[in-house]
């Protein structure tokens, strides 16, 4: 099913602020496939959601879906948003954000993308480390782990597996070493952690994670309030 293939690609598109797939958040309101042309409609929790985040998501939707070999064109439609026209036209013509919002932006979205990747890294690392603490590992043992240890753990522990996949995914995006012998937990710049720092790192990351989760709760509730249900019209596979 081609629609299902499109949804599988959309699973890779994250809300940058909430660090969750747009499909899980209920942002995708419809997918139409017409031969090699795919039309994706999406919507956000409020009329005022930041146009920069909307643009990042619209670009990612276009790019991830276009990676399917049978797709020649992706039309992305943001609905019910104050800047929908600018976002839709900009993404359709492949213009960078700064050009689509000329005069209102003094550059493109790379810094913002980086900032949200960093936040996602901190939050995913914190969730995983807290799980390891709950599983009874000491701070010393956690800091001594390598990537291969995480992969082994993921095979035997389903809850850990999900967190490990997400954590290693963001490490790759951050350009961090993911060879089996590489240390599992470093700072965002690749610097090694020492066990005495671990609790401070967790405390800092916790605020980042709480912000994202608090906001995710708010956004999902608002989307439900606005549209009645967070479920998209088209049946979502899996």
CB of 226 to another protein, least distance (A): 5
On whether the CB atoms of residues 23 and 11 are closer than 8 A, the answer is yes
Of 19-27, 174-182, 184-192, 203-211: span binding another protein (CB under 8 A): 203-211
51 binds another protein (CB under 8 A): yes
Using CB under 8 A as the criterion, what x/- string covers residues 5-44 for binding another protein? ------------x---------------------------
CB of 36 to another protein, least distance (A): 32
Among residues 142, 187, 140, the alpha carbon closest in space to that of 160 is found at 142
> With respect to another protein, which residue has the nearer C-beta, 187 or 226?
226
Of 109-117, 133-141, 145-153, 169-177: span binding another protein (CB under 8 A): 109-117
Give strand pairing partners of 42.
Answer: 28, 78
Among residues 113, 100, 97, 126, the alpha carbon closest in space to that of 200 is found at 126
187 binds another protein (CB under 8 A): no
111-117-119-122 Cα dihedral, nearest 10 degrees: -140
> With respect to another protein, which residue has the nearer C-beta, 5 or 86?
86
CA distances from residue 108 to 53, 112, 219 in whole angstroms, order as listed: 12, 8, 25
On whether the CB atoms of residues 45 and 150 are closer than 8 A, the answer is no
Q: Under DSSP, is residue 20 helix (H, G, I), strand (E, B) or coil? A: strand
User: What residues line the site for another protein (CB under 8 A)?
Assistant: 17, 45-52, 82, 97-98, 101, 103-109, 111-112, 115, 204, 206-208, 210-215, 217-218, 221-222, 224-226
């Amino acid at each position: 099913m081609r629609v299902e293939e499109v949804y599988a690609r959309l699973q890779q598109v994250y809300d940058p602020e909430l660090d969750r797939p747009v499909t899980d958040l209920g942002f995708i309101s419809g997918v139409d496939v017409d031969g090699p042309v795919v039309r994706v409609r999406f919507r956000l929790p409020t009329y005022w959601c930041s146009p920069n985040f909307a643009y990042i998501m619209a670009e990612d939707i276009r790019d991830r879906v276009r990676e399917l070999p049978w797709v020649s064109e992706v039309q992305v439609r943001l609905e019910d948003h104050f800047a929908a026209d600018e976002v839709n036209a900009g993404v359709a013509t492949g213009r960078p954000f700064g050009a689509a919002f000329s005069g209102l932006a003094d550059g493109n979205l790379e810094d913002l993308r980086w900032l949200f990747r960093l936040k996602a890294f901190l939050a995913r690392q914190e969730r995983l480390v807290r799980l390891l603490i709950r599983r009874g590992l000491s701070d010393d043992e956690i800091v001594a782990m390598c990537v291969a240890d995480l992969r082994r753990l993921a095979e035997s522990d389903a809850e850990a597996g999900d967190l490990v996949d997400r954590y290693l995914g963001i490490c790759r995006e951050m350009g961090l070493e993911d060879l089996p012998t590489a240390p599992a937990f470093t700072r965002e710049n690749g610097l090694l952690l020492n066990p005495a720092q671990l609790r401070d790192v967790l405390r800092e990351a916790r605020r980042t994670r709480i912000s994202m989760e608090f906001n995710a709760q708010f956004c999902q509730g608002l989307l439900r309030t606005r549209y009645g249900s967070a479920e998209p019209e088209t049946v979502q596979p899996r």
